[in-house]
Structure 1
Amino acid sequence: MRLKHMQFYGHFDARCDVAGFSIARLLANNPAHRVEPHEHEDGHFVVVLEGRYRSSARGVTTLLEPGDVLWNPPGTRHVDTFAGAGGRFLALSVKAGFAGALGLADGGARQLLGAPRQAALSLAGLPLSSDLGGLLDSEEASQRLCHLTRTVPGRGDAAVSARVDAREPLWLRRCMEQLLDECDQPLRLSALALEAGVHPVSLARAFRHHYGISPGQLQRRAQLNRAAQRLKGGQSIAEVAMQSGFADQSHFTRLFRAEYRCTPAAWRAGFKTF
């Protein structure tokens, strides 16, 4: 079984997406016998928050405890379960192409120790908020974790540094921040490019090169992140759809389900059990 982007065995507790990274906290609510052997199209870091985590991935031989960190490159075949109930974990997903450019594709699954582990724990300690400051803090922490974990420090170092050290053009950084801050508003790519002093095609290419996604995809994920936070706060689905800039409730529901693998109603109801 091959799981797509941000598909996990578990219930989402919180989530945010920024500049090519997707971060989520999840409750492992699937019994061990219902977890099938699988692989993910993305690479992902797993930070154990609660419970004892067991993985069958080659290279992982110990039962992980809270505070332990695991890296699974894209395509790692495994079965991951928690011993007993109440397991919680944080997952940082990195798409396959992005993981390769960051020097993370080689080396196999492995438990992280030392500085990479501390970087992962720092990321896990951040609130997964939808405000601009919180998203940029999460991006910076994700970049640091990837930089410390990479296994290819030689070949392609310039390309890795351009992404990991956040050396994207200042105008591009400002465009990204504006999209995140104004994600509830309609996307006007031409106006954004004009303000940055570049051609719209150049803007779109720069987004894909540095962040691995298009401006529209980044804005849509930011919209859904903000909507998820509003649902978690108890607002009605219709109210959230309107405030978050979606055409109507059915349009919002369709996009939310495609991104979060559950309906807005199921997401909102899930927090009543915590």
Structure 2
Amino acid sequence: MTVNRFSDSARYWRSPLAPGADMLTAEYHDHSFTPHWHDAYTVPVIEAGAECYDYRGSHYVAEAGSVPVINPGELHTGARAVDAGWRYRVFYLPVEFVQSIASEVSGRAEPLPWFPAEIIRDGDLARRLALAHRALEAGGDPLAAETALLDALSTLLARHASERPSVRQIGSDAVRAEAMKARLTDDLTAPVTLAELAASVGLSTFHAARLFTRETGLAPHAWRNQMRLTRSLGALRAGVSVTEVAAASGFTDQSHFTRHFKRAFGVPPGRWR
């Protein structure tokens, strides 16, 4: 049996019925996502093929009909798990939006919902999420689309969410890691050497790099580039030119910015906007 190979095709879009959310309709074959994170909840539905990804120290394969949720701020990758590639629909849902729905469902103020690392295999939920995604994308009856969205998200929360784990007590290593993060984000356009970063926390360059990578999952330069990308999204949404955003974000030039952006988000910044 011949399986048609998916292309690399992606479209980001928004809907007024999901305030602040981004949605993605895409299929991928050759593209692979470098380690990155989102400030929002990532809620995908795999429609065909299969995607593999690294998350929380484990390797996962999400097949058609599964819902591999990623919590906000958590590092993950993405690539094809089968020869054909994969096709999926994704919600990127703001934290405040998801928390407000959780509170509506329970009738009281709820703590931040959190999802386990394991892939959700719930065919009924997958159908509800896909239905809501298609309804929002079609832009038809807003009442039907909003009802489908609330139905899908309330089902996701009621069946699979738990409270966010309490934050562990910060030790001396984490304190140094946070200090290095602050140094790297203080001015994203200013060059920072590893020697300067290490000196700011009283460590050798070797130990500073090793500590930072252990605490964040990324080397300092990669983490800083991801932070630049994350902060560039607001300016892109506001209509600022890609050239201006690249310069303001601290990238060498537009091509440098575009290359990193596509590896993290699957499309060039101009198409994302």
TM-score (norm 2): 0.51
Are 1:35 and 2:67 matched, yes or no? no
Q: How does 1:94-109 map to 2 (within 5 A)?
A: none
- Indicate yes or no: 2:184 matched with 1:179: yes
Matching residue within 218, 238, 254 for 1:233: 238
Secondary structure in structure 1 of the residue aligned to 2:170: coil
CA 1:168/1:225 → structure 2, altered by over 3 Å: closer, same or farther? farther
C-alpha change, 1:40 and 1:181, in structure 2 (3 Å) is farther
2:191 aligned with 1:205? no
1:252 has 2:257 as partner: yes
How many corresponding residue pairs? 172
Q: Please give the per-residue CA displacement for 1:243-272, whole angstroms capped at 9, x wherever unaligned.
A: 11212112211111111111111221xxxx
Alignment of 1:117-128 (within 5 A): none
Q: Distance in 1 between matches of 2:207 and 2:242?
A: 37
CA 1:206–1:223: 2 relative to 1, 3 Å: same
Q: Deviations over 1:173-216 (max 9, x none)?
A: 21111212222222311111122211011001111222222111
Question: Partner of 2:210: helix, strand, or coil?
Answer: helix
Q: State the distance in 2 between where 1:197 and 1:243 align.
A: 30
The alpha-carbon deviation at position 74 of structure 1 amounts to 4.7
Identity within the alignment, %: 23
Instruction: Give SS of 1:36's match.
Output: strand
Q: Which residue of 2 aligns with 1:194?
A: 199
Q: Hey, what does 2:91 align to over in structure 1?
A: none
For residues 44-101 of structure 1, what are the alpha-carbon distances to aligned partners after superposition, in whole Å with 9 as ceiling and x for unaligned?
4469xxxxxxxxxxxxxxxxx94375735256666634234234999xxxxxxxxxxx
**What is aligned with 2:144?**
none
Aligned to 2:161, which of 112, 131, 136?
Answer: 112
Of 134, 157, 165 in structure 1, the residue corresponding to residue 169 of structure 2 is: 165
Please say if residues 187 and 216 of structure 1, whose CA atoms lie closer than 8 Å, have aligned partners that are also in contact: no
Q: Distance in 2 between matches of 1:27 and 1:21?
A: 13
How far apart are the structure 1 equivalents of 2:211 and 2:185? Answer: 16
Query: What secondary structure sits across from 1:166 in the alignment?
Result: coil
Tell me how large the CA RMSD over aligned residues is: 3.9
TM-aligned CA distance change 1:27 to 1:39, over 3 Å: closer
Counterpart of 1:221 in structure 2 is 226
Task: Kindly report which structure 2 residues correspond to 1:54-93, keeping only aligned pairs within 5 A, or say none.
Answer: 66-67=101-102, 71-74=115-118, 80-81=126-127, 82=129, 83-84=131-132, 85-86=135-136, 87=149
TM-score (ref. length: structure 1): 0.51
Larger radius of gyration: 2
CA distance in 1, matches of 2:246, 2:199: 29
Asked whether the 8 Å contact 1:184–1:223 carries over to 2, the reply is: no
Asked if 1 retains the 8 angstrom alpha-carbon contact of 2:114 and 2:161, the reply is yes
Distance (Å, rounded) in 2 between the aligned partners of 1:191 and 1:25: 34
Structure 1: which 5+ residue stretches go unaligned? Answer: 1-7, 48-64, 91-109, 117-144, 149-160, 269-274
Aligned equivalents of 2:192, 2:262: Cα separation in 1: 21
